[in-house]
A = this chain, B = another copy of it.
Amino acid sequence: MAAPKRTLSELESVVLGLIWAEGPCTAYAVRRIVQESLSTQWSGSAGAVYPAVARLEGRGLISSREQSTGQRKSQALAISAAGKRVLSCWLGPPVDPTAFGIPADPLRIRIRFLELLPVDAQLRFINEAITAIEASLQQIRADVRARSKQGSPFATAMARGAMHASRARLRTLTELRSELEGQPSK
């Protein structure tokens, strides 16, 4: 009878949101979406998703019903009224202030310490990062196109958000590169 935690973890919220968005679906389907997401935030491992689903069900935020697709049996998950309330509350307003904060960025953190490397390695770092991010921008653009075709302005906005974020990182890198090239030996 441990006092149930009042707030959901970020992953729990996303799982709940996906169950809402994808209509009744299996935990496996949710897991696949998290796994295939372009964001590297979560692994989408079974060890994360299934326990999260179990916790949501334990709180009555989702319900599961046996179903069969053809010969195959599975649990169809659906969000409950309480689940919708909790999800709305997670969204806000008022929006959780941690959602406004500067989000974590492993690339930006590395830039902070780049001075440790010899100059040629610094430039290699920057060029490698630019190439990689440009490549991932291709995927992101495809994702934006796909989602905007599907219609939802919100899913599209999320994808465009990733695109803007990637461009911002490119800008940061190219700015730094030109500054470094501006004063080749200092």
Contacts and interface: CB of A to CB of B under 8 A. Distances in A.
Interface of A: 10, 13-14, 17, 20-21, 38-41, 84, 87-88, 90-117, 121, 124-125, 128-129, 132-133, 136, 140, 152-155, 157-158, 160-162, 164-169, 171-172, 175-176, 179-180
A9 B185 CA distance: 33
Given A92-B128, A95-B129, A164 B157 contact: no
Given A17-B112, A92-B125, A106-B10, A161 B153 contact: no
Nearest to A115: B154
Count the copies: 2
Contact of A39 (B41, B90, B101, B111): B101
Q: Which 3 A-B pairs have the closest CB atoms?
A: A40-B101, A164-B168, A41-B104
A5 to B, nearest CB: 18
Q: Is the interface of A mostly helix, strand, loop or mixed?
A: helix
Nearest to A140: B102
Given A93-B124, A103-B106, A114 B164 contact: no
9 contacts: A17-B113, A38-B101, A39-B105, A88-B117, A92-B128, A95-B128, A99-B107, A101-B136, A160-B175
Contacts of A166: 102
A157 B175 contact: yes
